[in-house]
Structure 1
Amino acid sequence: MIGPIHSIEGVLYTPEQEARRYLETGAWMDSTVGDMLRQTARRVPNKAALITDAGSISFQQLNDQSDCLAAALLDLGLRPADRAIFQVGNNIETALTVIACFKAGIVPVCAIPQYREVEIGQLARLSQARGYFVQSDSPGSFDMVPFAQQILADHPHIEHLVFSGSRAPEHSNTIAALIQMHNVASARQRLADIKLSPADVLSFQLSGGTTGVPKIIPRFHGEYLAHATFCARHYEMDENSVFLWALPLMHNAGQLYALMPTLTLGRSTVLMPNVDIARMLTLVETYRVTHTASIGPIAPQIMAYSDLHKHDLSSLKLFYTMTRADMLEKKINVPCSNLFGITEGLLLGSPPSASTAIRHGTNGSSGCPFDEIKVLVPESETQVSDGEMGELCFRGPSSVRAYYMAPEANATAYTSDGYCRTGDIVTAHVIDGRTYYRFEGRFRDNVNRGGEKIGCEEVEAYVSKHSSVLDAKLIAMPDPVYGEKGCVFVILQPGATAPTVTELSCFLVEQGLAKFKCPERIEVVDAFPITRVGKVDKPAMKKHISALLENETVEGS
């Protein structure tokens, strides 16, 4: 079937004629994720699919156990096209659960563990989720169990709470127990009636944005499989590659770089529960890792790691990172390249065989031959002149056609000819007859803290609720580890004293804001600088804080 079998109201699907063309040309895979795993499990049944410190799982085991879990989730009452929020860690249970949902047609809402009441509550309402998967033994001091139970109480449309991990409450549903409810034969009999199409929604991914809770981006079985595989091939990966991933698996990057290519290529992937540089480099040695990536603070931490000389990194063919590939390559003596990725459906990068001019001087090109890219004058449809900076806009077989239930965002997200506006500023560079793109900055108002985009308007609204604050403006300040952190400029109430960073953070977390969104510096001002047309001049604030940081570095040296 070309079109979706289980349509979701509010999702804009690809027209049938265009979907047919994508399938016929190979721009989409004519498969579902479940069928792709079944095919790979038949080809390499005993090969390790996922490797963790807690154990590994073969492709056959991954296929069998996810079948059993998928059947149990259906028995529980979840149905194809139902949405389920995921707040889970990096482990084999997470992989089994998300694949089981893919097989059953249940649509994961791919949240991250750091989200709290504000984000999860709004995602629950918008997605109308009926399921909620939660890590019961999450690291750190925050207890996810009572948090999840309160979310369930506040959102009665969430009918099924399922825990992963070892500290689930008594008599609750757990992944481990659900897997045991079926044997492989009964599970496959239960799943036999579940028919899915490559055009069915696979997952609800989240876009970073400027207005608070991320927008929901529907991704689809056939396009997502192809999107990930084009990227993996672009990085010169194959069945013999070994990949290492230390960031959230349920993030779009985790799905595209780590999970999907594992299922399509039949390669092995090493999963880490969190970022630990010494352990990461030890795993590279132990499993002869060939490819790994840094979306956020990993690369700077490696460059600051003093025991690098103790590790054998000779198996690594490529380390790709958001920025500073040149400095990382010099440090680790491994080919490194800059990347660019956006959940809306574009991945740029360059392979280890590319020249240093490409790998270090640009963020690469798309590995998908069907992607179309323009660089436009911001807020226009005029293409910039050669070499000039402009907004990166694209369309292709994986580009989002519309955000889910977000008419206001959709009204400004596209050009008249269907190109998705990224809000990111790039320059185009032609090298050896091919065009590559270099990221220059962002047009929209957010902070990119280690790969997680923080909407400035949302944080400003919450900071302004503090009793001492009259008004607030959040800007991005440079940071050597995370790339950017949030600095909030505040105008105080008359006679008030500014809160400390710790006090403000506690206040914001109590309000339900995720901790990673809390500003990490406060600057008190009498008034915000303004432009000649009377708008708040955030570039002036950024320039001011950058100068302050430079002076503090000089004074401290």
Structure 2
Amino acid sequence: MSTENAVKPEWDPANKLYPPEFERRYREAGYWTDDTFAQLLDVAASQYGSNEAVVGLNWAGSEIRWTYKEVLDRAIDIGAQLSRAGVTVRSRVLVQLPNIADFVPVVAAIFRIGAIPLFSIPAHRRDALGSFIEAAEPVAIVTVGRYGDCDHRKLMRETLLETEYRPQVLVLAEDPLEFEVLDSPTDSVSVPRHTHTVPAAAPEPTELAFLQVSGGTTGVPKLIPRSHAAYHYTLRRSVEICNVTQATRFLVVIPCAHNFAMSSPGILSVLLAGGTVVMCPDPMPSTAFELVEREKITLVSLVPPLLMLWLAMSGKSAADLSSLEVINVGGAALAAEAAARVGPTFGCTLQQVFGMAEGLVNYTRLDDRSDVIINSQGYPLSPADEIKILNEDGTPTTEGEPGVLWTRGPYTIRGYLGGVGADSFDEEGFYCPGDIVRRLPSGHLRVEGRISDHINRAGEKISAEEIENHIVALPQVVDAAVVGVTDPRLGERSCAFIVAQPGKVISHSEINGYLRDRGLANYKIPDQTIVREHFPVTGVGKLSRRALRKELASIAEDQELGLRT
């Protein structure tokens, strides 16, 4: 269904995230409660005050351990600073923080004063950040100074030069440059230093709680509105399904602002259950393995490329990984061959997760048969999740046959912020994530692929059109086509096919340097560049991406054969 022909809902999605009849249905069924994120940390601190809540490095590189009571003290302190900076109830605050312990009290502070966080991952650059600011109009931004190879202060400076909005930028750093310091303590002693504190807000459970970022289906990612009631339900169910308890010690390896890292089961689920969140500062297996041994990690969530690295490095490491009980793998389909190696290699249970920030989450259950865990991506979190598997013409597939997934349920959104991407939703409120799935006799789903021209690289969704639009802006380029090819490590890798101006020469490094200069995130930079005199076309003269993919797959096969011989 095209955006122009999308049926207008009878309710106003700008103010109500779900139609009234569905609000009543989900409330009466007990899926939705009065729980909100404004009170989450206060409730957790009252129940688990002396439990260890967060372990990791903070923004200053200090190794700290905070109890639930100490995290709450920090959240109250940070909330007071945010309030003085002009953040009020329902204000939006863009958060771009790496995997540091400060992430938890900063986010808790925003929730606690009734404001709305917008979660951005550290890899986002000017193009994405600028679009988030334009769409969400945040009154404040919370970020760090230099982290890894990026100075986020300068990134924000460059981003704001390209937009008319001027949010207050608060920086976790000794030197904020022209911005304001977010004065978070650098030690593990909790001493609130501000006399003015703000009581926990009391938002309506059906109100907008926060904004997440989609994988992007039209170039720059879209913003996903999540309500308190709907998202809280996913946390409670994830705690139940994944057996998260006070004894759980969860290692955050993937970016902490990812939906997968936050809820499936994730940081927020662990805090809800009174467990411990351990922040891993970088994704290298050596770093993670050291933390698993030292912190007696029981649970970790990985995307398939990271799992493959873990499998490759496990035999080369002397670290004791015996505390691991469950490894969650999601973000992209996991090959059965790799899935089968998890149990024997790590001595723990694999739990496959197929979900999306827009809503639907599927888990294999911890007591599923091993063949089901290895060969499927789970079944829905909720009995109220509705699944349609359709042919291209919109008719239902024969049971067991692959088709396009459409879904609706008590935590799947009904639209993106601002009404963009309306063609991803049908008139009944079902959402299409673009996945091709089949349903097994057990009810589990198996992911067969994607229907779009988008590339799933290590769990990050890349829009071919976005990258192409940047490349063709180069004066020596006539045309560009970006396609993906299966990669055993990344899931998919990207290749830019280029048609250059006659007599012009352009290299892979030149293309990539140009894209970085234009502010694209590193994961969007093509892994390979091939220059062609012309592109293959279909019978009606359109670009044949299928032919390019076939050519790329053939090249990859030849390269693999060459390595083997």
TM-score over 0.5 (shorter chain)? yes
Write the distance in 1 (CA, Å) between the matches of 2:238 and 2:548.
37
- State the match for 2:106 in structure 1: 97
The superposition leaves residues 331-384 of structure 1 with CA deviations (integer Å, 9 ceiling, x where unpaired) of: 333221332111110111213321122211110012222211111113x43110
| Structure 2 residue 529 is the aligned partner of structure 1 residue 522 | yes
Partners in 1 of 2:243 and 2:190 — Cα distance? Answer: 41
| Aligned residues of 1:247 and 1:273 also touching (Cα < 8 A) | no
1:229 to 228, 233, 236: 236
CA distance in 2, matches of 1:306, 1:364: 26
The equivalent residue for 1:456 is: 464
Q: Deviations over 1:136-167 (max 9, x none)?
A: 13112x32222212333443533311002444
Q: Evaluate the alpha carbon distance shift between residue 171 and residue 185 of structure 1 in structure 2; reply closer, same or farther with a 3 A threshold.
A: closer
Q: Conserved in 1, the CA contact under 8 Å of 2:245 and 2:273?
A: yes
Q: Which residue of 2 aligns with 1:421?
A: 432
Distance in 1 (CA, whole Å) between partners of 2:311 and 2:473 is 39
Q: How many Å separate the matches in 2 of 1:169 and 1:75?
A: 19
Unaligned runs of 5+ in 2: 1-11, 58-62
**Alignment partner, residue 478 of structure 1:** 486
1:305-340 CA-to-partner distances (Å, cap 9, x unmatched) read 164562332222221213132233343332213321
The Cα shift of 1:92 comes to: 1.7
Q: Find the aligned partners of 1:166 and 1:381 in 2 and give their Cα distance.
A: 57
The secondary structure found in structure 2 opposite 1:244 is strand
> Map of 1:142-221 to 2, 5 A cutoff?
142-169=150-177, 172-176=180-184, 183=192, 186-188=195-197, 190-191=198-199, 194-221=201-228
Matched, 1:440 2:448: yes
| Secondary structure class of the residue paired with 2:121 | coil
Q: 1:184 to 1:34 in 2, by over 3 A?
A: farther
- Counterparts of 2:543 and 2:343 in 1: how far apart (Å)? 40
Q: Which residue of 1 aligns with 2:408?
A: 395
Q: Quick one: distance in 2 between partners of 1:445 and 1:114?
A: 22
1:520-555: CA deviation from partner (whole Å, max 9, x where unpaired):
101122322233454322222222212211211221
Q: Mean alpha-carbon deviation: is it higher for 331-340 or for 547-556?
A: 331-340
Inter-partner Cα distance in structure 1 for 2:56 and 2:26: 36
**Structure 1 residues without counterparts, runs of 5 or longer:** 1-7
1:85-144 deviation per Cα after TM superposition (whole angstroms, max 9, x unaligned): 22211112121111111111221221121222211111111111211111113112x322
2:132 is aligned with 1:119: no
What is the one-letter code of the residue matched to 1:545?
L
Alignment of 1:128 onto 2:150: no
Secondary structure of residue in 1 paired with 2:146:
coil
Name 1:4's counterpart in structure 2. none
Pair 1:38 & 2:49 matched: no
Q: Equivalent residue for 1:508?
A: 515
Measured in 2, the distance between the counterparts of 1:94 and 1:175 equals 14
* Aligned match for 1:542, one of 533, 544, 549: 549
Residue correspondence of structure 1 range 239-278 to structure 2 within 5 A: 239-257=246-264, 258-278=266-286
- Indicate which of 336, 351, 366 corresponds to 2:350: 336
Q: Following TM superposition, by how much is the alpha carbon of 1:233 offset from its aligned partner in structure 2, in angstroms? A: 2.0
2:97 matched to which residue of 1?
Answer: 88
Q: Distance in 1 between matches of 2:25 and 2:77?
A: 35
RMSD: 2.4
* Number of residues of Structure 1 aligned to a counterpart in Structure 2: 540
CA distance in 2, matches of 1:466, 1:331: 48
2:458 and 2:24 mapped to 1: Cα distance?
Answer: 38
Letter in 2 for 1:461: N
Which one of 25, 29, 38 corresponds to residue 33 of structure 2? 29
Question: Do the aligned partners of residues 280 and 29 (structure 1) sit closer, same or farther apart at CA in structure 2, a change above 3 Å counting?
Answer: farther
State yes or no: 1:62 paired with 2:71. yes
**Does residue 293 of structure 1 match 2:301?**
yes
CA distance in 2, matches of 1:314, 1:177: 34
**Distance of 1:426 and 1:73 partners within structure 2:** 44
Structure 1 stretch 112-121 or stretch 21-30: which is displaced more? Answer: 21-30
Once the two structures are TM-superposed, the CA of residue 202 in structure 1 deviates from its matched residue by 1.3
**Equivalent residue, structure 2, for 1:5:** none
**Cα distance 1:497–1:472, how it changes in 2: closer, same or farther (>3 A)?**
same
Q: CA deviation at 1:169?
A: 2.9
For 2:46 and 2:424, the matched residues in 1 are separated by 42
Equivalent of 2:53 in 49, 52, 59: 49
Q: Kindly tell me: are residues 11 and 528 of structure 1, through their superposed partners in 2, closer, same or farther at Cα, counting changes over 3 Å?
A: farther
CA contact (8 A) 2:53 2:276 kept: yes
Q: CA deviation at 1:396?
A: 0.6
Q: Following the alignment from structure 1 to structure 2, what is the Cα–Cα distance between the partners of residues 181 and 311?
A: 32
Give me the whole-angstrom Cα distance separating, in 1, the residues matched to 2:405 and 2:321.
35
What residue in structure 1 maps to residue 5 of structure 2? none
SS in 1 for 2:432: strand
Deviation at 1:447, TM superposition (A): 1.1
Partner Cα distance (2:29, 2:511) in 1: 54
Deviations 1:374-417 (A, max 9, x none): 11113x4311001211011111111111111134x21x112332
Q: Structure 1 20/35 Cα, relative in aligned 2: closer, same or farther at 3 Å? A: farther
Q: 1:444 to 1:175 in 2, by over 3 A?
A: farther
- 2:360 maps to 1:346: yes
Structure 2 Cα separation of the partners of residues 20 and 186 of structure 1: 42
Specify the code of the residue in structure 2 equivalent to 1:525: R
Report the Cα offset of residue 37 of structure 1. 1.8
Q: Do 2:38 and 2:203's aligned partners in 1 also have CA atoms closer than 8 Å?
A: no
The secondary structure found in structure 2 opposite 1:360 is helix
Once residues 315 and 362 of structure 1 are traced to their aligned partners in structure 2, the CA distance between those partners, rounded to angstroms, is 25
Report the Cα distance in structure 2 between the residues aligned to 1:347 and 1:198, rounded to whole angstroms: 21
Contact 2:296 2:323 in 1 (8 A): yes
